[in-house]
Amino acid sequence: MNTVSFWSEVAQEQQERDMTPDELAQREIDIAAAAAPVVPAQVPMLNARLALIAAGHMAAVKTYVNTMPGIDGEQARAYLEYAQAVRRDHPLVEGIRQVLGLTPGEIDTLFITAATID
């Protein structure tokens, strides 16, 4: 349907007209945005680990975390081992992203995948 309904003050009734090219383009943008998966703010840690395993990244993540020195390393290991959930905006996620050479979009995809694991 490429028409839009509107209220006509002149005719005092609802009428239809063809959509303009700009309206058609905006409709396509809106449809694409609605269909795009939402990146969850956090996922269960088990799901995150399973997504990393499926993507072949878990060994590199463990190596990175296990070689982190000092208190930062201890906290990262505790977070990876004992956290119930992992937040997308957690600094460790960004560190892992950089070490793995992934783009922010690829991390988003891992979070989306993790959210779908049952």
Q: What is the pLDDT of residues 8-59, one digit of tens each?
A: 888 888 989 899 999 999 999 888 888 778 999 999 999 999 999 999 999 9
Q: Check if the beta carbon of residue 27 is closer than 8 Å to that of residue 19.
A: yes
Residue given tokens 């793995």 in the structure block: 100
Q: Report the chain's mean pLDDT, rounded to a whole number.
A: 93
1 pLDDT above the threshold of 80? no
Task: Give the pLDDT mean for 88-109.
Answer: 96
Q: Check if the beta carbon of residue 113 is closer than 8 Å to that of residue 52.
A: no
Task: Give the pLDDT mean for 71-96.
Answer: 96
Token pair for 12 = 């005092």
| pTM for the structure as a whole | 0.72
